[in-house]
Structure 1
């Protein structure tokens, strides 16, 4: 499936929008570069450009690169001033009998496999009405591929294929401290309690606060298997045809998404970075993540977030006390406590590219980082500094 995705990603990049910006060449960039297996267009561009997300603009302006999205291992790229092209000789432009599968991808799609096809965000009504597994054949506690499972609340015909899903958390936002600031988005991990009532938002603990109503944004669900209905009824039977891990009672069944991901990722700067867009969750990490890991972000399509947008990641500066001019227990600090406090400048962390968006939440891939990315880090226009 991933190989097919790589093929589609490379093959369909025949038309792209050029985003106006001034590209800056990286210091000490190489004069030539031989494309290696495992490269991506982003990683190669990072060797030439200080802003690697601008590769479509620079490469499309050079006629020697016939298609900036179809570059293959073994190709020699020559960089001279603002000109980029294929090298001369046998490696240069020539008739090629090569599958699109062999072209290098724009970004490392292997890092996104789980999040492209295995993660979705659903609303409260969809979750409330989702059919659920009530048992496994022969009264087993766990099921796997090749076994029957029994599903309650399912309206489907024999032969229909459906996705097995399991909730992993939910997103919500709260009123900010400052009335003029955007609402803050948070992610709450699925708690240890079983049962749908314990998970449904209206039965949760965070429906209101002294600052105002807390708004539910969606449940994060993990697709982990596929079932095929064998018998329909009050309790339907279905054969597990594929499963990443064991099926258990309480898992849910939802329709298979026809197109769960976008197959075209053209990195570009946003026309305007949303206010207070922050990192709210990680993939497979507790404290911090780095390059080629996925982060969940607090803005979505409602805020004009779209796939391919690239942002800079900054860590907010810490608040410290100036103890040189305001020593502890001094009269100056006592009478001017606020003047003793300073907020350090924000620190640049790296870049993130959006690859999947929902109404109020989006997922991004950390493309490069010089420091770990922590929850609470904020996103900014990559062409400017905060």
Structure 2
């Protein structure tokens, strides 16, 4: 009887600590645990579901599959500090504080609220002037918007956006993906000094064809329309009420999203296997070209490729084509042909989970890593082995 109970306890392991196999009667999943896992764990303030799973399981990103086989937990995103997670059951302790999230929201919320990707921006309304002809305007001051037309009604809220980066895709005919970027000024014009690599674009399209993935825009402020285009005036008046950033002429204007993002993320693998060098890291937020755990990265795939929120990739450093110095000991690398080089294996770097998706680009959070994440790293199935 003791042996039977032990098997049941293994099968009923807490859902957010799932190992990645769908539990069915008679299936033991203990082999998926890390060595030395405890029988129970008390949820702490600051925990995330991914972090908890990562302490005890070899494949923490698959916890939702076991959760679905454990009906005693109605919602894995409503786990509270003080809850006791056990091999056999979840003991609901006093619900103190907020429920723990699937990802650390503090890291992703600025990108959920403030970053967007557009196919084009030349058709958007824009700031054409500022109150008292100022150079910049802040909260409590008026700005004047051209292009809203009759749609501008008093009381409507609009966000002020500024272009940051254009992402494009292209590919060298002879070999491999190119990495570059078109940084934009406030009006959306190219402003790309060669030494500035804060964000980047990646070019992947076949046959040398260039494709624009989208234009990255950052929210800088917001406000309410106080007067439309009336009495021969050709610009609507918007009163700024957001303390974030100063507004200047040329900034773009879009309606405020009522529900801009979803805070519930269920990790899952991509729906398809991508051709090599199709899915890559485009950029690392607020870094030159390198990032690590809890950094936001832009990815070269989006909704048109079947990517949605919660999609998990493994990140890989692409193996180099090294000169075989045993066979060719002296010749300069640039003079060695393909037959004199050896393709070295890709190297695993970590995992990234998508938290906001646009048509051709998505944003993800690096959840764990064993080496730095860099621009141009390859994205594969989360359980890829090479």
1:122/1:186 CA distance change after superposition, 3 Å: farther
CA distance in 2, matches of 1:220, 1:174: 18
Query: Which residue among 12, 30, 39 is the counterpart of 2:38?
Result: 30
Normalised TM-score (structure 2): 0.79
1:84–1:219: structure 2 CA closer, same or farther, 3 Å change rule?
farther
Report Cα offsets for 1:77-102 as digits up to 9, x if no partner. 22xxxx3533xxxxx346x5x48x61
Q: CA deviation at 1:123?
A: 1.9
Q: How far did residue 195 of structure 1 move?
A: 4.0
Q: How many Å separate the matches in 1 of 2:331 and 2:252?
A: 60
Paired position in structure 2 for 1:321: 323
1:139 corresponds to 2:141: no
2:195 counterpart residue number: none
Q: 1:15 is matched with which residue?
A: none
When residues 84 and 292 of structure 1 are mapped into structure 2, their CA distance, relative to the original with a 3 A threshold, is farther
Aligned match of 2:381: 381
Q: 1:380 to 1:196 in 2, by over 3 A?
A: closer
Q: Which structure 2 residues correspond to residues 211-290 of structure 1 after superposition, within 5 A?
A: 211-233=207-229, 234-275=234-275, 276=277, 277-290=279-292
In structure 2, distance between residues paired with 1:198 and 1:336: 37
| Distance 1:42-1:196 versus aligned 2 partners, 3 A rule | closer
For residues 337 and 159 of structure 1, do their structure 2 counterparts lie closer, same or farther at Cα, with a shift above 3 Å needed? closer
Whole-angstrom CA distance in 2 between matches of 1:93 and 1:108 = 22
Unpaired segments ≥5 residues, structure 2: 1-18, 24-28, 192-201
* Displaced runs of 4 or more, over 6 A: 333-336
- SS in structure 2 at match of 1:143: coil
Determine whether 1:71 maps to 2:79: yes
| Residues 22 and 66, structure 2, Cα contact 8 Å, conserved in 1 | no
Normalising by structure 1, what TM-score?
0.79
**1:267 offset after TM fit, Å?**
0.6
- 1:178–1:141: structure 2 CA closer, same or farther, 3 Å change rule? same
> Is the 8 Å Cα contact of residues 323 and 336 (structure 2) preserved in structure 1?
no
Match of 2:112 among 106, 109, 116: 116
In 2, the alpha carbon distance for the partners of 1:220 and 1:299 equals 14
Cα RMSD (Å): 3.1
1:190 is the counterpart of 2:183:
yes
CA contact (8 A) 1:185 1:280 kept: no
Corresponding position of 1:10? none
- Structure 1 gap segments, 5+ residues each: 1-17, 87-91, 200-205
Q: Deviations over 1:21-68 (max 9, x none)?
A: 686212322332221100001100111211111112234434665543
Distance in 2, matches of 1:299 and 1:335, equals 35
Shift of 1:161: 0.8
- The number of residues matched between the two structures is 342
Q: Distance in 1 between matches of 2:334 and 2:184?
A: 44
